[in-house]
Amino acid sequence: MGSESTEALGFVLEVVSILSGFGQLWYWWVLWYWWVLWYWWVMCYWWWSSVRLAGCLEEMTIHRGVRHMKKAQTSDDT
């Protein structure tokens, strides 16, 4: 009877050690997954903000050019 309980205890300890190993593996997997998500979010946000900034600058340049052309037309008309 004593050897059976020792065997059972050994089996339980083996299962616990395997599960703890998986726990560490899952920890690294989750850490890596969140790092990748964070990295891509930052890169996409940076890209999107640079595209928006370029669009705003282009729009400002176009408006400035239109205003300049309107001023030139009104000065030519007078």
For the segment 25-72, what is each residue's pLDDT rounded down to a tens digit? 777 788 889 999 999 999 988 888 888 877 777 777 766 666 666 666
Cα dihedral 62→63→68→71 (10° resolution)? 140
For the segment 5-30, what is each residue's pLDDT rounded down to a tens digit? 778 888 888 877 777 776 677 777 88
pTM (two decimals): 0.38
Q: Which position has the token pair 């030519």?
A: 76
Rounded Cα distance between 56 and 63, Å, is: 10
Cα dihedral 49→52→54→60 (10° resolution)? -140
For the segment 46-56, what is each residue's pLDDT rounded down to a tens digit? 888 888 877 77
